[in-house]
Amino acid sequence: MTVYVIDLEPIETRYTSQWKEHVPEQIKNNVTNDVVVVDGSNIPSSTTPGMFLDFANTNIYKSSQMVKIAELFSKNQVTDGDYFLYTDAWNPTIIQLRYMADLLGIDIRIGGLWHAGAYDIFDGLGRLAGDKDWVHHSELALVHAIDDNFFATDFHIELFLKNRMGIAARDGDFEREKIVKTGWPMEYMEEVLADYLDGEKENLVVFPHRIAPEKNVEVFRELAKKLPQYQFVICQEHELTKHEYHNILSRAKVVFSANLQETLGISTGIEGPLTGAIPIVPDRLSYSEMMPDPFKYESDRDHDIEYLAGKVTDAIENYDSYREVLKSHKQVLIDQFFSGTEMYKRIKEGHKKNEG
């Protein structure tokens, strides 16, 4: 079995640059040495403002990936049992891949990691094009074309089934075995962030998210006005390298979120905790299942700045106590949400099925 990794464009300021390096190695360590990365051309240096990707250049990148995938088929290099892993399931080349495999009679399997989509009204795609029929039909086609649809949280799975699969999921007409809960393949984060663990902590509160409507940055701005005795940093207001960003986290006592959209939460779920920054997050979305009670605030009190200021102040002034809770919870976050164990297992199981 060859595992073909169809990667996301590796933008330096996002985790996708780390995935470019580490995900293929982790598949080699956990599944098979026979790994081929299918990357694209015209790597963008930044994203569309406030968004996860550059909406134009991502299609250049994906289209060049499709050319490489088609060439693999035309040269008869793809064989029964091969696995195509898409690190982002929202990739239209999946349809073209399934088209070639089915029409050429080659028994491949496809896996895709779902990050978000139009089924979430607070996501950029849902907000900008969520009322378009083409979006809904495209997502339905993708999930059916994929054998293993990977999700990192129960919240994301239920959101997806409710808003995208609808009646089909409720009535049992959808193949639920296509849905796989797995942590993201980010085991490397402990080593990457080890050098940032012992930073000198300051009374610093960090907003690590994109400046976008679904990230609710205005709540953070109001907190900064309410608590002038502390430092507040909105990371995307500065042109930070990954090293500079991690260095800020290493100095911070708190990493704050008031998100309206979050299906996992890398900055608050693993980057902050591994650098000793206490997550203060709403009790909703993926945070509800990921975080212990001391780190969560009541989800309907986003605009109660007095209440939120109290939560932040308590975390800063009683940092050592919160840090102990964080230390005891860190392994839960790693094992359940930031280790690709179930994904590796599913890839191997799929290979066995094909062999049988």
Number of domains in the chain: 2
**b/e per residue, 199-232, with b = 16+ CB within 10 A?**
bebebbbbbbbbebebbbbebbebbbebbeebbb
Does one domain contain both 21 and 156? yes
Verify that 327 and 346 share a domain, yes or no. Answer: no
C-alpha to C-alpha distance for 259 and 216, rounded to whole angstroms: 6
pLDDT of 47 above 80: no
Residues 164 and 94 in one domain: yes
Task: Give tens-digit pLDDT for 61-73.
Answer: 999 999 999 999 9
Sign of torsion over alpha carbons 23, 266, 113, 210: negative
Q: Are residues 58 and 194 in the same domain?
A: no
Q: Are residues 193 and 332 in the same domain?
A: yes
- 203 and 331 in a single domain? The answer is yes
CATH number of the domain enclosing 233: 3.40.50.2000
pLDDT band at 52 (very low <50, low <70, confident <90, very high): low
Q: Note the pLDDT tens digit of each residue in 155-187.
A: 999 999 888 776 555 555 567 789 999 999 999
Report the SS3 class of residue 149: strand
In this predicted structure, the answer to whether residue 337 has a pLDDT above a threshold of 90 is yes
pLDDT of res. 44: 59
Expressed as residue numbers, the domain containing 114 is 3-186+339-355
On whether both 172 and 25 belong to a single domain, the answer is yes
